[in-house]
Structure 1
């Protein structure tokens, strides 16, 4: 051992082509220069994104407790998973555990309720606090779990202010750009790009409704959707597209590790999410010089897009305003001016800048642990 602090990231799995997974892999990889870094998956899966050679990879075989049908089966599976995780942690010494998922934080907290943790437990939230999918009792349980952590990392100051008021130690560290692109889109292709999982959160239903609104107003433009099965499937999506009679306006593609090509071959990025944390797709699109149009959901887009400068922020779920914003960017001069501004504006998310924030934060936690 070379005396470096041991940092262990814990997640469900890495074989998903998602922003959270890409950020985790990139963050772990650049921290491996300064720390001994590992990633633990709750199930064995090959990472969709390449992992740095300095990162140690581990997995356990959790039972997917929440996928069980009955409450009793869920409870048995959850207890079993906690025991498996505890055995792993007993066999692998670490200084800091960073939970990349609220479900994972839950397992760690409940697994150490009656014992002292020999490591700092840090939660890393990737979704906004006011997530509509976590309400009522679920919200109370989540707040309880987060209060048991040693620290919490969030993506926006908006959420940090909320957690501060709850008495939770919190630090804001935005996501870093996942790549640098010297080449920018020439913004001459009549292609409007959207990338996302097929879940209610991503608002693909609003995207389809928007295309219906625009189908007689856009001339020569195509919508490009890179979609991944989630709560809905691509087959279901194709059925909805057929029902709305917009198949001639939209092309579907599967997830790919070469997503940069899609950005560079498009001219506008469009996001219709109901809620977000700090959406990587907007940062990536702007890195490639694309102006973005997005619903101004509570957290995320406004931290990235400057309305009227690098793109358009639209009142949430207002399809007519969204349609007008897309049409405004079909003007060549407007689109290219905003594209230049977009590329310049995401320098604040550079890997060098964000890595220094992570290093400073982790070094500060060491000093606190030694007190």
Structure 2
């Protein structure tokens, strides 16, 4: 398993580098084929992004993962692959290449793969724009989706995820010389500041209406073109996380009702809901099955967690397919310098997954 993990981690697969993602897809395809009895997958190029899919018979169980990472090509120079004191490190090792290795080894131990679909997408980290329809279409025909995203702290499975909405707010003002005649301009940066303060109260308004748990976070901002010019244009990206579909709708309604504070300023609101929430009800029966299975295997009690991060499991649950997430690696540090996997847990998680797939087919 460690040799296979090294093979995947050392093939860098930054989401924005489609050539790197294509190379990674071929490595994933070759590794999977070797472990799945020589079965070759479909390599699906959708708008330049490469996804990998195996289908065995009529699928009842979808095993879902991604092979793209947030780490730019060249990150191996500063975050090299290593295994020391039972800890594996490297870019993407936790999120989520160890999960892919565990999945392939789990399936390799089954006497038959009939009824299984394996889908490894190439753009999950950037919103799954090219793979969402594929994920949802497969999920609608299945009785269960098992997601190989990394576990929550302590190995907990993820039985609830917040939904995600992504917005961009653009302010149009009017340029003017900031020394000679600033009064003739409409300062887009000032208007943007008003809008950011308005966003600060939006989450509280949603909480009063739909309950707690919503966050509205301004992230990337820009304004202006020169130090001596009143900014004519400013923009901000906004990351929204919601616990329920009602909260997602409420945020969308309130955010689109924002209006300019400065005379002659104009707003353009772009974006919208990206991933629906993964409701706990979508995971309840599958988690109970996983608990029983872990007990039978002597793996100890399983815990569960609700998390703010989203995955493609949000899409499968939204499509009506029961979904259990976080079945991948045990470790920590997704997207961070300390990203790592606890090696000893990899075969344990593979055994758990194999038994779950066998029970669900």
Range into which the TM-score falls when normalised by the shorter chain: under 0.3
Q: Which entry has the higher C-alpha Rg, 1 or 2?
A: 2
Q: If each structure's strand is expressed as a fraction of its own residues, which one has the higher value?
A: 2
TM-score, normalised via structure 1 length: 0.27
Q: If each structure's helix is expressed as a fraction of its own residues, which one has the higher value?
A: 1
TM-score, normalised via structure 2 length: 0.28
| Greater relative contact order (Cα < 8 A, sep 6+) | 2
